[in-house]
Every structure is written in structure tokens, then in C-alpha cells.
Structure 1
Amino acid sequence: MRFGVLGSTEARLGDGRPVAVGGPRLRALLVLLLLEAGRPVTAERLIDGLYGAAPPGDPANALQAQVSRLRALLGDAGDGGLLTRHPAGYLIDVDPGDVDVHRFERLAAEGRAALAAGGHRRAAAVLDEALGLWRGPALADVGEAPFAAAQAVRLEELRVTAAEDRAEAGLALGLHRDLVPGLQELLRAHPLRERPVGLLMRALYGSGRQADALAVFEECRRRLAGELGTDPSAELAALHLAILRADPSLEVPAPAAVSSAAPSAAVRHGLPAQLTPLIGRDGELARIAALLAEARLVTLTGPGGTGKTRLAAEAAERHPGEVCFVELAPLGGGPEIAQAVLGALGLRETAVLTGRGGHAAVPDPAGRLVAALAGRELLLVLDNCEHVVEAVARLADRLLSSCPGLRVLATSREALGITGEVLHPVPPLALPSPGVPADRAPAVRLFADRARAVRPDFTLDETTAEAVVRICRALDGLPLAIELAAARLRSLSAAEIVSRLDDRFRLLSRGSRTAQPRHRTLRAVVEWSWDLLEEDERVLARRLTVFTAGATLEAAERVCGVDDTDGVLASLVDKSLVEAAGDRYRMLETIRAFCAERLTEAGEGERMRRAHFDCFLGLAETADPHLRGADQLRWLARLDAEHDDLHAALHRASAAGDTGAALRLLAALTCYWWLRGLRGEAVALARELLERIGSGPPAGFADEYALCVMLVASGGGSHPGMDAHLRTTRKIMEERESVPRQPFISVMWAMITGPPDADLAKELRDRWEMSESIDSWTRAIIRFGAGYLRLFEGDPAEAERDFAVALAGFRALGERWGLAQTLSGMADLADWRGDRAGSAALTDEALRLVEEIGADVDVAELLRRRADGRARDGDLEGARADYERTAELGRRAGAWEAVAAARLGFGDLARFRGDLARARRLYEAALAECSAGWFDAEHTRVRVHLALAWIAVAEGDAAEALDLHRRILATGFNERDRWLAARVAEGLAGVAMLEEDGERAALLLGVGSALRGASGGDPEVERVTAWCRARIGEDAYRAAHARGAGLAHHGAPALGGRPRPALTVIGEQLSALGE
């Protein structure tokens, strides 16, 4: 699709057909995203841009609803995948070249660069194209949006500047008369702007209208004095004087046709012709053109294989003036460089006879070059400077200081390091974004293009795309490596290339026969850089490979053991072996693989891996207690930054058989994993470790072993010897006299075992709370667990007291996760009492806290619960938006039980609207996703079967509804889950309604009410309740309802007694209904 904002907002399909873009707010959202096309925009910025100082009560949910509508609109147009969620916000994944504003900015920069370089014809043509993109005032139909005014002003300023540049080019081409009307219109629109005044004066003078030109100046003088109290600038006054004197410098060149005549070919010296198209570099080319318009020395830097040479050649080809391209790779330095430039310019070095003795005096090549270039406007491209960087720096400095018309574009793996140099790091090609078609990524497009060159039948489709993406990712998006990989398709499939990438240097060893030797193989590319390193740089480079995802300076100093680490690291950055991003340093994977070979050759691998493990174990154990306090966000961010290396350290210790050390690190990371919602990967790591441990805990690591077992158990599924591991763990927990070393173990224990036996729970709680080693967080989490146990037991008053103690404890600590869990428990309690508004407010506060932490799984669960409440209250659109976010977060976190829960919610919405067929399809999809889930998947599966049973009730199929309830009870879900048990009882009340047994239906509603509390507006329960009252009368209904409540509470109709096992009561009623 192509998009326009320079005028009213428009979207068009590839064939030119327009696409409707919705109402004002939807258009504003689209424009906000298009202004950053291809880059993520934070939710905060979108909310601020859409709503300004008057956001809705729930801005995040309102934004999500707008995003969903926009995605649906784009989906109807056939391109719904354009709008995706990104870790940093939302992303509309379109090429900036497909959005008129970005195309305009690129063309305006190119035009200005051409103008500065004296390429007036090209400047005029490019600027005409740029200005032709405008269809009216920018952002014309979103002007009421809070963000629009500032953006419209910025874009108008760019348009006016481009119009001025176009007029400047036209004057240089002698088109004075043609420019007058446009400049007059421009000046009327911007009467206080001086540049159009000067341009119009020159155009009028060049058209033979000297008096009119002078009148324009006088009008400008009066306007500035009257409105601003100032005089015209010195430059404008000087132009006025020149016109008065008819200065010869204002002589008009002969007119030249711009639009009809093709520009004359600029002189090119040594510029190689390209045999293949340049892919994915439009943005880089525009940036280079803009840099060359402002600076006289621009150096393209980056590691070998990023495409610096190709990019420089393409930039030079597009340059409007004279160009000289010089390849330095074969040279050794010194005077050879100046001689190579002279040779490229066709100025061969000659000997001068002295006249006495026949001896020749050879002039200074650099001096001759200065003389040759002193009066010329020329772009000099010096390619591959890194091995002769000092000699190139000296020559460039001399030439630039002596030749004012010269501009230099250099490519080098290391900066030249002279005054005036502007660096432009050349990045690898962009890789596919999650959820976006692979063929939109430049790296994938390059592979496909080069693949078709060696295998014309190659197509990028569902059979090849995944392998191609893996190849491009493994090769870091490096163009040279991708081209070498594509060339292997002569004899290998894409999947076979993927399987051989572990030995990439052997695999990618056949390049073009005509390429420079250092570009023929992947190994040669990296060896060229390695050979230029000093010894201390080589030591640090090979030792850095022990880090999986880069390192901070502090970690590099601690692990690598190199003197002056910061200085050596800076040298590696300068030489493009290491990239600096913020406070981290990393290597491209190809460079890392090469340097890792050198680490093995040096015999330092084991020592470095041990130092790496010690470093990250220390970090994890230092961070762990801080995760349970007010400073948790900062420490979560630190662990996020080191996530991959923490996991690598754990994998290595486990693989090496050091299970005690691995358990220690796993225990220190468990709280982090849980708070961040990384539970799936935590389970996988724990399973891997438990397989190596054997039948019991290593000596001294009982708590850590128990935590590992609990993590594995939380993931569900089968695991060898799991029953024995759980028995050992139960014994460890029940025999503890004091709190565990790792406080989070108490959370995991409750999650794995469910609500424990009340007497055992009280005994453990009392024992641990009396321990001298208990900390404030553990005390609070114990009270939180006690509150839920009271809630399961049907004792809301005691639950509220326990929750209050926990809440005060977490608030005092400033700990968001525990606070959110407690607020969620209190929301359940409010829901139980029928206080929907109070429950919603508590859920919203809990949601805000877990969103601050970034705990995606917890956010998804709370959103799902809020959506359930909204659906019960009739807010189906609000519920839909929450379910969509739940599914999105679940997919992102790999928590398929959350996706299943969202799918269940979508089914409920369809059922509430009467679309039973759609509801059934969604429920069946949810069951399939439950099978892929782990934690809490059984709970969701039961809820799906209940929903299917309600469909059967709606369709009048009592036999099907009874069968589904039998299956639910056969699963043996935790009978202390009173909410779920209540839903089963209420579902059976619906079956009783079908069988016209009003008294039994009322009794079952009583069981549900006693177990769960108020129904909270559940539409099915209300429908059955209304039927019962009408069927048997109010008095009989109340009596049967009270009997049901008594069955659940040993005859006590009010909440508070010791509950009879709920499933026993419900099972009896199910049997009675089935008779």
C-alpha cells in the first residue's frame, strides 16, 4: 500500500485503488504511525498525540480499541499485517518510500545536496518531484488532533524551504521570468520571510524589471519595520545595492529548459558500474546526500561485509557533479594514495628533466593533486581506507584545507579521525519484524534477488521463507554474507544452508572470482580486520566472545582481565570489530564466531566461561532481593539487559555437570522470571537442569532443588521421576523449621500444590512467621497466601484481614508485584460480594502496577479478568479490546493458556450476541490452544467446556450439556476453586431449566451463590434465575435457593461455615439430573 498525508489522509492499494481510512481519530492514529513509518511509536506518545490534555478514563484501553479498528480496516484492504505490536509500542511496517511525507523529505534533501554541489538541473528536477507530492496543506483532515499543529508547521517549513531551493536552482538556470509568479505567491503566504524577497528581487531584475525588484525591497523594509521593528538583513541590503548599481555579478545566464531536456552527464572518474540492484538502502542514500550537502568529509564506517563500498558507489553515482572513485585496498600507503587519485583523474605522474646530467625531479604527488583540484568542484570517494588510515587522513586533511570545492566520501572500518569528519555507521540490512511478511525486509529481499540469479526457479513462499529468515538472522543481515549464502543455492536448498550455518566460514567460502581477495569468502572478510589489530586488541576481542549478547564495560573488565579494558575496547569500536550501543558493547555474530575460534586456539575457553558464570551469578544474587522492593524496576531493567548471558551461564553450568552452581543461579533468577512473565522459558531451563540432577538434591542445595522441581511442575506435562521429585520436595517444605533461603519458594509452593490443607497451612505459617530470619516481603506474601486460603474456605472477613496485612506490607516495601497480587485478591473478594465497581477499580490498580513491571503474563490475566467483568456488565466493545490485548500479550510471552482464555472470551461475546456457531468455533480453537499452554491451562479448559455446555442449553440439548458437565467433573479440577465450582453448579441449573425442574435449578443456583457469592450480572445465571422465579414462584424459589446454599455449607445459608466438598454436592445433583 501507499499512503499520503501531504494533503488529506489517503491510502491506496498497489493498483491505485483508494482505501477508506475511517473517522477523524482513526485517521489521526494512522498519521501518527505513518510519520514514523517503519519505526515503533510508544503507546504514551500515541495517547498524548490522540487525546492531548484530555485523555479518556482508560487511555490504554481506548488506544487499543482504536488500534484494533485500524488493523481491521487495513485487514479489509488485504494488508492487516502492516500494523503490529512491538516491544517499544506500535509499528506500521511500511517502507518510508511508500509514504509521501518521507519521500518528500528524502527528495528535498537530495535536491538541496545537488544545489549545494552545483548540480542545478538535477536539483530542479528532484525538487519538482518533491513539491509535486503535495496535494494541499499537510495533515489537512486531522488538524484537530493535538499533535497535528506542530507537525503541520514543521512540514510547511520544509515545503517552503524546498520551494526556495527550487527557485534558487531556477535562477541558476536562467529561468527568471518563469519564477516570478510562484515567488510572488510564496511571498504573499510568508510576508516576513526574507529569502523569498531576495529570490523575487533577483527574478524580477533578471526579467528586465529593475524598478519592480527595488519596489519589492522597499515593501519588505516597511513591513519589517512596522511589524517587527527591524531592518532587512545585511545580505538583502547588499542585493538591493547591487540591483541599484546594475552590478555585473547579477548577469543572467542563458535560459535552460529543465523539464524537457535531460541533464548532461556528469563526469565520472573510476566509478565502477554495478551489475546488480542495490536493495534496501534508500534511507541510507538520502542520509549520505544530506550529510554531503552539509559536510565536506563524510566517512562510512562499519565492519567488513556491511556494504560500505556498494553504498558509496551508489551515492557517488547519484551525485550531481564530478566524481572520482579510488579503490585503496591494493595500496600500501604513503605517496601511493595521491598517485592513485592522480591516476584515476587521468593525471599521470611525469618526470621533469633538469637540463644538466639528465636527472629527473619527481614532484610531490600530493602537491600536484592540490594544484589539480584547487579550482574544481568534485566528490572524491576513497574506498577501503582502514589499512592505510593514517596516510589517508593526512592526504584528506591537506586536500580539504587547500581545495574549497572538494568533498570527500570515505569508506573505512576505522574513522580517519581528523577535524571536520562526519561519521555515518552503515548498519546491516533490516531483518523481518515479528508478524510482518518476510518479503518486506531488505535482508530477505536481497537474498531472494541473489538467489534468483543462481536459481531462476527460486521463489520466496511458505516453503522457503522461514529458512531464508533464519539465514538472514544468523548472518546478522550482512549483505556480503547473505550474497555468499544465496550463491550456495546452486547446490543446496535453503533448509540445508540453515543446517550448515554452525560452520559458516566453511559454508560461505565461494565468492565472486573477480572480487577483491578479502571479499571472496566470509573468513577473508573478517581476517582482513583481525590482521590489522594490535595484540592487546586481539586478546580482548577473543575473550569478549564468551558474552552471548554483548557486555557492559564493567562486565568486560571483570571477566576478560585485560589491562586498560576501556581503552582497548574503544579501539575495537573504532576498528568496527565491536559495536557500541548505549553502555553495551557487542559483536556481530559472524565476527564473534571468528574470534571464538581464536579463543579456543589460545586455550582460554574454560577459564573465560568460569569467569563469565561467576560474574552473572554475582549479578543475579545481588539483584534478587532488590526485586522485592521499591527499586525493583531498575533491577528488572538490569537483568533484562543481561537476560541472554544469564541464561547462557545457566546452560553452561548445567551442561558441564556443575548442578549445584546451576541450581544456585536458577534460584536467584526465579523471582525475575516470574515478575517478567518469562515462565515458559523458566520451566524449560528447570527441566533441562532437573534431568541432570538425578533423584535428589545435591548436598547443601535442598531449597534450590525444591524450587527447580516446583518450576518444572508448574509447566505441567510429564517428566521422568516427577512423582518422586515432588515427594522429596514436599518433605523438604513440610520439615522446614525456618523460612527458605529463597523467599519466592513460598509463592511457587502455593501455586503448585493449590490451596493446602488448612491445618498444615496454619502450622507452616506460624512456624515461618516465628522464624528470626523472616523478612518483610516473605511475611507479606505469607499473609497474601493466607488471604486466598480464607477466600477458598468461604471466610471473606478473615480473608479481608489477611489481605489488609499483606497490602500494608507490600506498600511499605514499595513492591509492585506483591501489591498487584494482593489487590487482585481483594478484587476477587469485592466480586464475591457483588461490588462490581469496587472490583473493577482494584483490578485497574493491579493492572497499572504489573504494566509498570512489564509482567506480560500477569497483565494478560488481569486484562482477561477485567474483560470478563466488562462482558458481564454489557460493555462488549471494552471487553473485546481487553481480550485482544490478552491474546497479543499471550502470543508474545508464549503463554498459550492466555491466548486460549482470550479466545474463550471472544466466544462468550459471540454467544452473548446470539451467534452460537461462531462461539462454538472459537471455543474449539480455545481448547486446541489449551493443549499448547501450561500454567492454569486446566482451569481454562474447564471454563471452555462450561461455555460449550451453555451453548447446548441454548440449543435445548440437555444430553449434550449433561455430558459436558460429566467431562468437567471427570477432570478432577481443584475442588477448592470455589469460583469454578460455582460456575459448574450454575451450568447444571441451566440443564435443570431444560428439564423444567425449577426446584432443582433454584437449589443449584443456591449452591453457586454460596460458593461464589453474587453472580455479578452474569446473563445466563440471570436468565435461569428469572425462569425459576416465574416457574415455581418467589417463595418456593427462595426456599430451594436457601437449601442449595445449605448443601454447600452444612446447612448454613450464609457464607462462613466449613464447606462441604463442592464437587461432592455438585456430583450428587448431576447424578440426579441424569436419572
Structure 2
Amino acid sequence: MPYGVLGPTLAGPAVAAGGARLRALLARLLLDAGRVVPLPRLIDDLYGDTPPAGAVNAVQSNVSRLRREVPIAYDGSGYRLDVEPGEVDVHRFARLATEGRSALRSGDFAAAESRLSEALALWRGEALADVRAAPFAPAAADRLEEQRRQAVEDNIEAQLHLRPSADAVDDLRKLLAAAPLREHTWALLMRSLVAGGRPAEALAAFEEARRVLADELGADPSAELSAVHTAVLRGSLTPGPPRSRLPAQLTSFVERDELARTAESLRSARLVTLVGPGGAGKTRLSLEVAARHPGEACLVELAGTGPDDVPRAVLDALGLRDTGLLDRSAGPDALDRLLAALSTRELLLVLDNCEHLLAAAAALAGRLLGACPGLRVLATSREPLGVTGEVRVPVAGLPTEAGMRLFTERGAAAAGFALAAADEAAVRQIVRTLDGLPLALELAAARLPVLPVDELARRVGDRFRVLSRGSSTAAVRHRTLWNLVAWSWDLLTTREQLLAQRFTVFRGGAGLDAIEQVCGLGDDTLDALGGLVGKSLIERDGSRYRMLSTIRAFCAAQGPPPSEDHALFFLELARTADAHLRGPDQLTWLDRLDADRDNLHAAVRHGSAEPALRLVAALSFYWWLRGARGEAQALARELLDRVGPVAPPGLAEEHVLCRLNAGLPTPLDAASHPARFLQTLSRPPAQPFLLYLSAFAAGPPESSHEDVVAIQERLRARLRGSPWSEALASIGSGWIALFHGDEAWAGREFARALVGFQALGERWGMMLAQSGLAELATARGDHRAARPPMDEALRLAAELRSQVDLAEMLRSRGEARMLGDDPAGAAGDFSESMALATACGATEVVASSRLGQARLALRRGDHATARGLALSALAECPTGWYTADGVRLTIKLTLGHAAGAAGDRYEAAHWFRQVTAEATGLDATAVTAEAAAALAALNPGPAP
């Protein structure tokens, strides 16, 4: 070879000249001959984690020196050794070793020995022998040494088939000295000893292997090694392991959990079926399982076979040809010949692609397994064979990380793609969009020569158009994603096709009741659904059913889904759940709505105006409890764009709720404010949560104390007959009483609300009442008394997983801890509150928690930090509902105090004047008084 690394580095006929760094650079380029090695990777491989400051210049200088001896190109990102891989010993070795291993598996032992001997002759010593000090070299050398050991083993195995002898015993013992846990090497040693007439030594070798495995791993010998031992004892050992009729693979295999699960199943069962959708990698997985099986294995490809030809396909795969009789009727039929040939044979038979001739494959497997005790069958199908004793191993898409590895490996082969940190998000999106299906990922990677990975991620949603070209050597159904799914579609009955097309209306799956009522197949639904589950087009996950997005896209193209029926079904679900959300079964129904959240939101989007508006109304309380404010706002705004500013007849309340969900936290039109709608109600609203949302939008009334009492009593009278609404009105009355400074009234109202919600078993209302009692204790200055009700409110919020309320409760407890001289506890509460509020889009709680951090900084004398935090809070604080307006005023008050503490009287006065000028309403009274007093104490005079 003109170039080499399997020994001292070669550049031409002689060992490469120059220093160690120059030889290391050449060796590194030789390992990737013909491919670009990016400059940053070169630097890492040559210098390790701490390259010197001039590493780039040093590499460029060494490249210039190397160019005198070898052709090196630069493409703007890295360097490429411009030679054919076949001119480099390591690449020629890899090719020959792969060809030799393939020939060995197919039973061509002479070709195997020829290729493997030629491969091993390329080694001139240890790999990378003269550059081992380079950071990349040890790992690369270990990898190459492992490949050499494998080639030596394969070569000895081929020779044992051709010329059984003990000639390889010394070589095998050398291999075992370096790698004593390689059980296949121990098996070859035993075979070689038996071939040389030394069976006693073979049995001693087994005992030695057993001891090594027990000492090092605590494990017993493998099935292969145990089988060789048994054969030696019986005197029936053949020179080599049984032949396997499996095709050599052209690409790498990404390890997956199903591999070990399938191998384990085959140890205890004689029929295992890999079941999954098209493109999930069932065939490749079956071949990997078969290749690692200790005995003989044979692949039977049934994709192009007719139902009557299955036995003959197995005969052909096993190499059991017809005897040449002109009249076939004069000899045994194919099944009889199979039974005779396999009756005493140990064999793993892989029946691939059984779905289109299920009955014939099942009949043959059942007959063979009953008559041939040494036979095991591994089948691949989109539905089970249905034979007694069958073990099913579901094969789905790859997990995200494994899918990313597969895409990266195929992309490297197709376009030299190397996964960089900047590409990870795009590759992750591609894997998730394509459901992790290996075939789809391979088709996507094949597009990398044309599309950059970020553009591919953007386009892959249109999967059938983008993934329309695959390997020309693949089966027709595997050349495009459309063909792949169409193969499954064509195997369905008419009713199954209709259900699959209608099922596409669901998002995130569905329960059986939804499928039966929405898809409209009546009594046929269950049978059709069973067929789709059996044929891997729909997956069952507990009590729910789902469809992979790739299959969904194909089925949706077959006809329009029943969108209105879907919207009406989930409207009824939302109404039923909403009633239970205000009672003791609250948690159960929250989980029920969570399971169908995607369906509920899809129903809002594609339902007509009436069911969509009613859905928004029914979901308002659920959205609040789950902190889904951003989703609610987006859905409500989309719906208002469709419906318009005027409520359709009979939907006034629903339209107001939609505007409330769409408008918060932005200001609402005063002329059509929800408060006006509430004044027209003579009865409790159909959706009681309207009271709460409208109160946030309208803010507290600014009437006198007596008038407010009268207003609240009139409201309570209109709400009679709705215990939940009455209890909620008491919450509102309690807060209004606090704003008026009437602590006795506030205490009575919060206690009244707590009793009402406890009678209903409604956790959210109890949480509000406990929070009000805690605020009341804080207002009285009794911070110790505030802790028990606040802790109970927090417990209830956590139980509900109500993220907005939990964030607000934590912020409130942080305030109490700060005033109670617990700065560390307060800081923790403010930080956790901000994280929760940020996640659910509650910007006013983010702002108020950051304000709490600013006030903590001010209390410890850190004026600069306090000012920075308060300014950030001011920028974050929204407008449009009264809690946010109060937060905004307190932020400006804090900015004034921070400026005053820092000695800047003029900035302090600026903020205090803003507070006194902007403050309106009862809730601003205390803030206004504090700002006025601080401004008077400053007496700053006119601004300079």
C-alpha cells in the first residue's frame, strides 16, 4: 500500500519522515482519506483539550510541509487527503475484512479465507505505532486492534471449515491472552483442539473459560460455548459452527432495546414475531438477532411470495433445490421435503414480511414447529401470526437519541454530515416529526446532499413529497415513504380503511368511547379497530389508541375527517368535566381533560362557531387551573377572528368568556366591558368561572364602603342556587373588605367562603379562601399566624398542579417570609415562583416575584441590585388587570426607595411623583400614602 497506519505511518514506499507532530497529522488524515476533516476536530485530535494559542497556525504549517509528499486539499472548513481510500491500508483492510466476514456467513469458506488472509497481511505491526502519543491515537488504535482480532477469528473459522486441524491453537491462545472474555474465541479453540484429535484439552479449555467468566463477570458460559461443550462430550462436534444463510449488511446498526428483548424471547419461546408499522426496522432487527444467534440461521424473504409458494420459498432459502424430476407430482411436495429436512436440525428460521400472506405463513410455522423440535421461528409482520405459543415483540420508532444517531450515521455516508451542536435541534425535530421510523430517517438523510439540515427540518412536515427518493436497490415499497404506507393500506379491509381515515381527526390519541361515537361505524367499530391495531396502523397504549403521525398523514389524504362530530363529542366531554371540576372529583376530571387536551384544542380550532364558543366557555376554568393561559389566549383570539366582535344569537355569555380569555392580560374595550354583561345577569352564569375572570378584568369597585356592601349583597342574591358561585362571591367580598381596611368583614367573608368550598369538596376554592386568610393575617402584622393557612393553600395548589396559583401562593409566602425576617426563605420562594410563572406565561406574577427580589436586595443595602431588579420587573409587568396595576405602582415605589437610599434625591422624587400621579382605586391607597410621605421627607426641590 502506498499509504498506511497499520504499523509505522507510511507515505509512499517508505516510513513517513518528519517529527512526531507531522506524522500524527498525516496519520489522522489517512484515517479519513478522501473525506474532509474539519479544522477544529483536527486541532482537538492533535492537541487534546488544551491546544496551544498558535494551534491553527501550527496545523497550517504542518499541512504545508506535508503537501510536499502527499496531496492535501482545503475546502474552507477543513483538510482532505486527496487519495482513494483503497490506497490506504486501513481502509483496504476494513473492506476485505467485511467481504471475508460476509463470505463466511454465506458459507463460501474459500473466498472468506482468501479475503481475510489478504486483509491480515496488510498489518506491519501495531496500528499507529509511531504516533501513539497523539490524543486521537490510543482510541483509534484500540478500535483497529479489535477489528484485527475479529478478522483473525473469522479467518481461523474459515480455515477450520476448509482444513480442520489444530494449527490455529497457538494463535487462538494469544488472542485469549489479550481478550480472555471473548467466548467465541474459546469456542474456536475447542473446535481447533478437537480437529487436532485433542478432545480432552478441549474440555479443559471449557473449564478454564467457565472459571474466567465466573471470576470476571459472575456469568455462566454462553449458549454457543455450552453447545460446543455438549458436542465435544457427545463426540459430535463439527469443525466449525453451523452455516448461516443471512445476507451481509451494507450499513451500521443502531442498537435498540428490542434487540435484547427479542433474543431473550427466543431463548424461552420457539415462535417470536416482531410486530410493528412499516419502516420501523423489523427486517434489520431480525437479521441482527439472527446474526448473533449461536446456531444456524436462515432468512426467508416473503415480500414477493404468493400464499401457495411459502413452503417452496423456505426450501429455496435453505438451498434445498428440487431433485430435477420432470414430473414433480412423482416426488414429495415442498412441505413434506421441509419436514424431512428440518426434523432433526437445529435452526433459526427468519420469516420476513408475513403480513400479506398471514394465513399461509401461520399455517407453515405451526406445522413446522409441531414436527421439528430443534426449530425456532422469528417472524416479522405488521400483525401477529396468531399461532399458539407465539411471543409478540412490538417494534416502534427509535427513541429520539437513537434516531439522531441513525440519521447522523446515514447522513455521514450520504453527504459527509457531522452532527454539530448547532444542528442538534434540527435533527431532533426531524426524528420526532418522522416518529423515529428508521426507514423515514434514512430517506431523510438521503436528502442531505441537496438540503441543509435546518432546511430539511423545516420541510420534513411535508414528508411524502420530501421523502420521495430512496435506495434504488431497495424493495419498491421502501423507496418512498408514500409507497411504504400504501403497502399497509392496501392490506386493509374497506371498513378498516374507513376507520383509519376517520381516526385522523383525533389529536394525541383517543379512548374507545370517542372512537365509537366520532368515527361512525356502529357495531363494526370494534372489529375494524382490532384489525388496525393488529396490523400496526393504530397503537394501543393502556385504554387509549394513537396513530403515528406518518401514518396519520397518509390516511388523512384518503378523505376528509369528521371534524364537526369530533367537536361535538369533545364539547360534551368538556361540559361534563367542567361540572365535576367544582366538586370533590376535581382531580380525576382534570386528569381526564389532560388526556384529551390536544383533542379539545383541535375541536376549538376546527369546530363551527357555536360548538367552538361553547368549548372555550367550558374550558375556561380548566385552562386557569392548568396554567394554560398562553394556549387559551391564542385559541380564543383565533376563534374571535372567525366569529367577529358581535356575539351570535344565544351565545352572549360564551362570547364574553372568549373575549376574556383572548384579552387577558391586554386591556379590554371599556364600552363592551364584561362588567356590563355581569350587571345584566338575573341568575348565576352558566359558566361560574366568568365571575372570577371578569373580576380580574374589571378590578375592585371604587364605591364607598356602604355601597360596596350593598353591591355584594345584591350579587349574592342573584347567585343563590349556585353554591360554588356564592362561595366565590365571598372571596371577592373578602378582598374588597381588605382594600377598605375592614379586617373583621374580610375575616368573616373568607371564613364563609372556606366553609362553602369545603362543603363542595372543591380544592381550588379552599385554596383561595386559605390564601385570603393568610393575607389578612399579614395585613394585621401577624406573620406567624399567616403561615398555617398559606401552607395549606400551597398544599392544595400543588395537589391541583395549578401552576399559576402555585406561583402566586409562593410569591405571597415569600412576602410574608420577607416581612417576618426570613430573607433566605423569601429568596427561595421568589425564585421558585418566577420559574413557575415563566413556564405558564403569568407575566404579572413574574414581575411581582422579581419585585420581591428587589425589595430583598434593598433590605440588605444592595441599592444597585435592587434598582436593576426593579427596572426589569417594571419592563415585564403587563397592564390590563388590577393586580398588575398594583404591582406596577409598588415597583415604582421600590425604585424611589432604592434611589433615595443611594443618595439620588432627584431620581427618587421622580418615581414617587409617578406613584402619586398614577395611583387610582382602593388597592392603591397604602402605596399612595407611602409615596407621598417619602416625597415630603426628600424635599428635593426642582430638578437640576
Taking structure 1 as the reference length, the TM-score comes to 0.63
Report deviation, 1:1071: 8.4
Provide the aligned C-alpha RMSD in A.
4.0
Secondary structure of the residue aligned to 2:473 is coil
What letter matches 1:723 in structure 2? D
Structure 1 residues 268-277 or 749-758, which shifts more? 268-277
Report deviation, 1:769: 2.7
Deviation track 1:539-579 (CA, whole Å, cap 9, x = no partner) reads 11111112122221111111111133122211110000111
Measured in 1, the distance between the counterparts of 2:442 and 2:601 equals 32
Measured in 2, the distance between the counterparts of 1:349 and 1:633 equals 69
Change (3 A) 1:409 1:599: same
Partner of residue 749, structure 1? 694
Partner of residue 364, structure 1? 333
Aligned sequence identity (%): 47
Secondary structure of the residue aligned to 1:640 is helix
1:327 and 2:286 correspond: no
Deviation track 1:87-142 (CA, whole Å, cap 9, x = no partner) reads xxxxxxxxxxxxxxxxxxxxxxxxxxxxxxxxxx9999999599xxxxxxxxxxxx
Change (3 A) 1:253 1:374: closer
Partner of residue 781, structure 1? 728
Change (3 A) 1:877 1:396: farther
Change (3 A) 1:185 1:324: closer
Partner of residue 731, structure 1? 676
**Do the aligned residues in 2 keep the contact of 1:579 with 1:587 (CA within 8 Å)?**
yes
Q: 2:315 aligns with which of 334, 342, 351?
A: 342
Report deviation, 1:393: 1.3
Secondary structure of the residue aligned to 1:489 is coil
What letter matches 2:922 in structure 1? R
Change (3 A) 1:317 1:876: farther
Report deviation, 1:695: 3.6
Secondary structure of the residue aligned to 2:247 is coil
Partner of residue 832, structure 1? 779
Change (3 A) 1:393 1:379: same
Report deviation, 1:874: 4.8
Report deviation, 1:186: 12
Report deviation, 1:775: 0.8
**Do the aligned residues in 2 keep the contact of 1:907 with 1:919 (CA within 8 Å)?**
yes
Report deviation, 1:639: 1.3
Report deviation, 1:624: 1.6
Secondary structure of the residue aligned to 1:416 is coil
1:704 and 2:704 correspond: no
Report deviation, 1:537: 0.8
Deviation track 1:647-673 (CA, whole Å, cap 9, x = no partner) reads 1111113xxxx4333222211111111
Secondary structure of the residue aligned to 1:554 is helix
Structure 1 residues 286-295 or 945-954, which shifts more? 945-954
Q: 1:618 aligns with which of 556, 572, 580?
A: 572
Measured in 1, the distance between the counterparts of 2:279 and 2:242 equals 29
What letter matches 1:632 in structure 2? Q
Change (3 A) 1:736 1:305: same
Change (3 A) 1:337 1:940: farther
Secondary structure of the residue aligned to 2:399 is coil
Report deviation, 1:815: 0.4
Change (3 A) 1:890 1:515: farther
Q: 2:406 aligns with which of 436, 439, 446?
A: 446
What letter matches 1:652 in structure 2? H
Measured in 2, the distance between the counterparts of 1:253 and 1:882 equals 75
Report deviation, 1:688: 1.9
**Do the aligned residues in 2 keep the contact of 1:738 with 1:767 (CA within 8 Å)?**
no
Deviation track 1:359-402 (CA, whole Å, cap 9, x = no partner) reads 75242323332333333333222221111111111222222223
**Do the aligned residues in 2 keep the contact of 1:896 with 1:934 (CA within 8 Å)?**
no
What letter matches 1:977 in structure 2? D
Report deviation, 1:774: 3.1
Deviation track 1:625-647 (CA, whole Å, cap 9, x = no partner) reads 21111111122122111111111
Q: How many correspondences in the alignment?
A: 749
Secondary structure of the residue aligned to 1:299 is strand
Partner of residue 591, structure 2? 637
What letter matches 1:365 in structure 2? A
1:552 and 2:511 correspond: yes
Secondary structure of the residue aligned to 1:564 is helix
Matches within 5 A, 1:908-927: 922-923=869-870, 926-927=873-874
Matches within 5 A, 1:461-860: 461-462=421-422, 464-562=423-521, 563-600=523-560, 605=561, 608-653=562-607, 658-716=608-666, 722-723=668-669, 726-727=671-672, 729-758=674-703, 761-771=708-718, 774-860=721-807
Report deviation, 1:697: 2.0
Change (3 A) 1:949 1:767: closer
Q: 2:207 aligns with which of 152, 176, 179?
A: 176
1:406 and 2:357 correspond: no
Measured in 2, the distance between the counterparts of 1:311 and 1:447 equals 17
Secondary structure of the residue aligned to 1:269 is coil
**Do the aligned residues in 2 keep the contact of 1:683 with 1:715 (CA within 8 Å)?**
no
Partner of residue 292, structure 1? 266
Report deviation, 1:868: 3.4
Q: 2:817 aligns with which of 846, 852, 870?
A: 870
Partner of residue 356, structure 2? 387
Report deviation, 1:740: 1.9
What letter matches 1:736 in structure 2? L
Deviation track 1:209-245 (CA, whole Å, cap 9, x = no partner) reads xxxxxxxxxxxxxxxxxxxxxxxxxxxxxxxxxxxxx
Measured in 2, the distance between the counterparts of 1:249 and 1:268 equals 18
**Do the aligned residues in 1 keep the contact of 2:817 with 2:823 (CA within 8 Å)?**
yes
Change (3 A) 1:359 1:811: closer
Q: 1:423 aligns with which of 392, 397, 402?
A: 392
Taking structure 2 as the reference length, the TM-score comes to 0.72
Measured in 2, the distance between the counterparts of 1:775 and 1:304 equals 55
Change (3 A) 1:371 1:923: farther
Report deviation, 1:811: 0.2
Report deviation, 1:825: 0.9
**Do the aligned residues in 2 keep the contact of 1:739 with 1:768 (CA within 8 Å)?**
no
What letter matches 2:664 in structure 1? S
Report deviation, 1:178: 7.5
**Do the aligned residues in 2 keep the contact of 1:896 with 1:932 (CA within 8 Å)?**
no
**Do the aligned residues in 2 keep the contact of 1:768 with 1:774 (CA within 8 Å)?**
no
Secondary structure of the residue aligned to 2:379 is strand
What letter matches 1:271 in structure 2? L
Q: 2:250 aligns with which of 258, 275, 292?
A: 275
Partner of residue 146, structure 1? none
Measured in 1, the distance between the counterparts of 2:685 and 2:915 equals 37
Matches within 5 A, 1:80-91: none
Partner of residue 1052, structure 1? none
**Do the aligned residues in 2 keep the contact of 1:754 with 1:974 (CA within 8 Å)?**
no
Matches within 5 A, 1:930-1009: 930=877, 939-968=886-915, 972=918, 975-978=921-924, 982=926
Change (3 A) 1:691 1:526: same
Change (3 A) 1:672 1:176: same
Measured in 2, the distance between the counterparts of 1:671 and 1:403 equals 65
Change (3 A) 1:455 1:663: same
Runs of 5+ in structure 1 lacking a partner?
1-13, 18-120, 131-169, 188-194, 204-247, 257-262, 432-440, 993-999, 1002-1068
Measured in 1, the distance between the counterparts of 2:358 and 2:919 equals 72
Report deviation, 1:958: 3.0
Measured in 2, the distance between the counterparts of 1:481 and 1:275 equals 18
